[in-house]
Amino acid sequence: MDLPSLAVVLRAALSHVPEERKAAEESLNQFQYTPQHLVRLLQIIVDGSCDMAVRQVTSIHFKNFIAKNWSPNDPDESQKVLESDKAMVRENILGFIVQVPPLLRAQLGESIKTIIHSDYPEQWPSLLHWVTHNLELQNQIFGALYVLRVLVRKYEFKSEDERIPLYHIVEETFPRLLSIFSELVQIVNPPIEVADLIKLICKIFWSSIYLEIPKQLFDPNVFNAWMVLFTNLLEWPVPVEGQPIDPEIRKSWGWWKVKKWTIHILNRLYTRFGDLKLQKPESKAFAQMFQKNYAGKILACHMQLLNAIRTGDYLPDRVINLVLQYLTNSVTKNSMYQMMQPQIDIVLFEIIFPLMCFNDNDQKLWDEDPHEYVRKGYDIIEDLYSPRTAAMDFVSELVRKRGKGNLQKFIHFIVDIFRRYDEASADLKPYRQKDGALLAIGTLCDKLKQTDPYKSELERMLVQHVFPEFNSRVGHLRAKAAWVAGQYAHINFSDPDNFRRAMHCIVSGMRDPDLPVRVDSVFALRSFVEACKDLNEIRPILPQLLDEFFKLMNEVENEDLVFTLETIVDKFGEEMAPYALGLCQNLAAAFWRCMASSEADDEADDSGALAAVGCLRAISTILESISSLPHLFIQIEPTLLPIMRRMLTSDGQDVYEEVLEIISYMTFFSPTISLDMWSLWPLMMEALNDWAIDFFENILVPLDNYISRGTDHFLACKDPDYQQSLWNALQSIMRDENMEDSDIEPAPKLIEVVFQNCKGNVDQWVDHYLMITIERLRRAQKPYLKCLLVQVIANALYYNPVLTLETLSKLGVAAAIFDHWFAMLQEVKKSGARANFKREHDKKVCCLGLTSLIGLPADKIPAEALDRIFKATLELLVAYKDQVAESKKRNEEDADDMDGFDADEEDDEEVDSDKEMGLDDEDGDEVSSLHLQKLAAEARGFQPADEDDDSDDDFSDDEELTSPIDEVDPFIFFVETVQGLQASDPVRFQNLMQTLDFRYQALASGIAQHAEERKVEIEKEKLEKANAQ
């Protein structure tokens, strides 16, 4: 297609008429791989006489085409762009950066980024020369800097070995870069274009030093030259003239961007390379030099910059945030803190505290867009840029590391605000300062709860200064009161009425006319539910509480909201049964809303997607709480089926784990697995074969449930043929040579599930599964996978020993397999512990497989093989017996420990030292209250017991893993098998006994005695179970 024709087609792609637009897109798709197509697109982009709309759509098409086709992801995929076309694009695109307007430059920049990531340095060695050459030309400096920024960014996060090309780039460009930088900084009354150039230089420097400082900069003279320029920029006041009036545009204005990047770089140098504690020995000299020569000067500049807050001048939020990060990092360093100390009162009371107070922007957002107010308040990303969060961090670090003097002083300041607030008339009360004071009290919660004399005064403080604000006429104080109350819900209230009163106020807050108050109340409620010792306080209002909760969920998409619901469900357990269906219906509706909003605005923040995940997690919590009420699962299933069906496709990749967990519950706890639930099997298999291999461990659990709880349907159904589809997936995965050992671990576990649950019904699959198992065993590297593969053989022997032996013989591997197996059984670590088959489950499976061989006739198992098998089985049974006893003892000790732990939970005055590490209160409570049910245990049983091959820990995490062999006692099975051998072939039995030395005879006697004890225990257990029913 020639140039004019291509331009016509691209113009048609902008048409408002769908048919014209579709025809243009089809035409572009048809010709996109023809020679010179990319070059012609580039020509249109830089053609100044062409319509801007056409140039823009061309630049987008060009960028997307290069992203998709320049370097195919699959190495086997053929190249779709001719090398001659690539060469022509590389030759011309760099020069066009300066020629095109910013709108098009962004698209060309993305294209250059793709090409650099693919081609530099191997296919594009001339690129660096182009950059160095153009840095010398006055009218080409912008283009050269722009390309250099893209180039160095390729190496920003690269590890040391991969950064080698960057060091060459720095060597070639930084001397000239420093010279340009110096010239720009010296310009008097510089125009805004200078800011754009300096900003690019800052970004180039940032990417180059982000992980490691290039060796060229270790030269003190060179580094000092850079630092002089950066500190000049830091001290230099931002020009007043030309600043935009609109605050949103103003913060992105060129000179404020320069200020931000300068502070960013200096912070990075300080925290990563200027801290003596963080440095490798060889970098200590640099850290000492930085501390001595620059750290203090930067701190002084930062303190000066913060004066703008005192005088009411403008500072962008991000700049304040970064400066406060520097101050916070300086608190722990003696020399830096000494510099700060003379001004600490000014910093604390005239800069930090005002930032913590409710302000005009907050009020505007509260009034005009309460949803955005809530989103910003609970968005982690917003916290990274928020001056208020940085101020809270500074206060926390100050009282944590320099509490002596500062804590008391700060608390006196807060108390004085409380006093002035209480004394003032309603019209003159300092409402915003009270809000800041409450935020400070909440921020210092952990410190105050463990520090005398404050910890004994907390309840009185809450009653006097926090609880009254539940009824404040000012909305933001009602919200802050709820938040602070939530922070302190776990303290020991000497008067239970105070706890009760606060909790009822929180519940009332869920009906507040202001949305932010309702949201903060729900979050606070979580802490009160966790801390509540008498659930009768909540029980009567539970229906009303859930109703208010779902009203709020209809208004706000927020993951944290769902945490509160999970806490309520977790606390009340089976008592949630009457509400389970309604809860699931509401959560399902909320899930679909969150997905819709997330899909509608891909560019927006991911709060909708996070909230969607939260909804599914809450559904799982509900299903877990009603696990002993199977009939409810039948009622809930129709509500959840549409979610499961849709989210098992590639549409659900972001929530796949959560959906699989729901399917696991539905297939495990329902009375039977419905045909509707069976319809999900093909979707899981399709995903597993296509894109979901990373979720194989999660898919394993529901597949196990289908096979073990729906065995008859699994065996009988031929449309779809579940047995065939399972085989297709497992053989494809196990034969894939690109698959890591750890990725395929669920495959042998699933084969085990088939053999154990389908005994006598899958003879036709024995040779298939043994064949792929042995193939993979030959290539397996990881001990854990080797154990799992050998256990497939053990399971096959237990399933049908004659058929399995015949298959192994037919494959010509019988002797080699048993040699390998026995070698693995005998392998020990330095500690003397077994190196393989570490879990109880592993040992039991091996025992059952080996014992099955003992009962075979002489023509199947020769005498010498029988002797070897018999001895190995005896030793394994003894190891299994010891491990079971050890696990039982450990479980009893853990139960005792948990009793003590629960008692300690009542007393929350002493704060765990984890608080010092920044761990959240709520994480601990969540873990301590988590009651793991059967399914969780089942999933846990499938986890690798010991990833660290050198570890001496012998985990036994599979006791609650349900399978048909649970009912088989290996000791009784062994003794009865040996008795069967004695009855059927007394001579063979006698010969076997005579080969045993004293040690093995003693072991055999011990096992026989233990088997008798187990028979008595099993009968007793059955009797107790019968009586309990």
Q: For residue 366, is pLDDT > 60?
A: yes
Predicted local distance difference test score (pLDDT) of residue 10: 86
b/e per residue, 590-627, with b = 16+ CB within 10 A? bbebbbebbeeeeeeeebbbbbbbbbbbbbbbbbbbbb
Q: What is the dihedral of CA 515, 516, 521, 523, to 10 degrees?
A: 120
Q: What is the mean pLDDT of residues 95-115?
A: 92
The tokens for 784 are: 């854990």
Q: What is the mean pLDDT of residues 483-494?
A: 95
Render pLDDT for 833-852 as a digit per residue (tens, 0 to 9).
889 999 999 999 999 999 99
Q: For residue 279, is pLDDT > 90?
A: no
φ, ψ dihedrals at 834, nearest 5°: -65, 140
Q: For residue 939, is pLDDT > 50?
A: no
Q: What is the mean pLDDT of residues 225-231?
A: 97
Render pLDDT for 701-736 as a digit per residue (tens, 0 to 9).
999 999 999 999 999 999 999 999 999 999 999 999
Residues in the chain: 1029
Q: What is the mean pLDDT of residues 648-675?
A: 94
CA torsion through residues 673, 676, 678, 681, sign: negative
Q: For residue 940, is pLDDT > 80?
A: no
Residue 49's alpha-carbon distances to 24, 46, 53, 842, in angstroms, are 22, 9, 12, 75
Q: For residue 936, is pLDDT > 70?
A: no
Q: What is the pTM (predicted TM-score) of this model?
A: 0.76
Rg of the Cα trace of the chain? 35
Q: How far apart are the first and last CA of the chain?
A: 82
Render pLDDT for 466-486 as a digit per residue (tens, 0 to 9).
999 999 999 999 999 999 999
Q: What proportion of the chain, given as a percentage, has pLDDT over 70?
A: 92
Predicted local distance difference test score (pLDDT) of residue 159: 83
Question: In 10 A of CB 565, how many CB atoms?
Answer: 29
φ, ψ dihedrals at 721, nearest 5°: -90, 95
Q: What is the mean pLDDT of residues 395-424?
A: 94
Predicted local distance difference test score (pLDDT) of residue 733: 95
Q: For residue 152, is pLDDT > 90?
A: yes
Q: What is the mean pLDDT of residues 560-588?
A: 89
The residue written with tokens 């061989």 in the block is 853
Least confident interval from 68-72, 481-485, 766-770, 958-962 = 958-962
Dist. CA 668–CA 666, nearest whole Å: 6
832 vs 509 pLDDT, higher one: 509
Confidence bin at 403 (pLDDT 50/70/90) = confident
The tokens for 905 are: 């939970």
Question: In 10 A of CB 743, how many CB atoms?
Answer: 16
Treating both helix axes as pointing N-terminal to C-terminal, what angle do 18-31 and 3-12 enclose, rounded to 10 degrees?
A: 140
The residue written with tokens 């980024």 in the block is 113
Q: For residue 189, is pLDDT > 70?
A: yes
Given a contact cutoff of 8 angstroms between Cβ atoms, the answer to whether 358 and 479 are in contact is no
Q: For residue 663, is pLDDT > 80?
A: yes
Render pLDDT for 258-271 as a digit per residue (tens, 0 to 9).
999 999 999 999 99
Predicted local distance difference test score (pLDDT) of residue 405: 82
Q: For residue 792, is pLDDT > 70?
A: yes
Q: What is the mean pLDDT of residues 40-56?
A: 90
Give the SS3 label for residue 721: strand
- Average pLDDT over the chain, rounded to an integer: 88
Predicted local distance difference test score (pLDDT) of residue 179: 97
Residue type, 55: R
Question: In 10 A of CB 301, how many CB atoms?
Answer: 22
Dist. CA 165–CA 961, nearest whole Å: 52
Predicted local distance difference test score (pLDDT) of residue 1025: 82
The residue written with tokens 């008595």 in the block is 1016
Q: What is the mean pLDDT of residues 418-434?
A: 95
Given a contact cutoff of 8 angstroms between Cβ atoms, the answer to whether 263 and 323 are in contact is yes
The tokens for 76 are: 């086997």
Residue type, 859: D
Confidence bin at 386 (pLDDT 50/70/90) = very high
Least confident interval from 439-453, 468-482, 582-596 = 582-596
Dist. CA 161–CA 598, nearest whole Å: 39
Cβ-proximal residues to 241 (8 Å cutoff; 6+ apart), any chain: none
CA 450 to chain centre: 32
Give the SS3 label for residue 959: coil
Q: What proportion of the chain, given as a percentage, has pLDDT over 90?
A: 66
Confidence bin at 831 (pLDDT 50/70/90) = confident
Q: For residue 446, is pLDDT > 50?
A: yes
> Closest Cα partner for 485 from 538, 441, 449?
441
Confidence bin at 932 (pLDDT 50/70/90) = very low
Give the SS3 label for residue 834: strand
Predicted local distance difference test score (pLDDT) of residue 317: 93
Dist. CA 1004–CA 737, nearest whole Å: 44
Confidence bin at 944 (pLDDT 50/70/90) = very low
Q: What is the mean pLDDT of residues 950-968?
A: 60
Q: What is the mean pLDDT of residues 787-810?
A: 96
Q: What is the mean pLDDT of residues 60-77?
A: 82
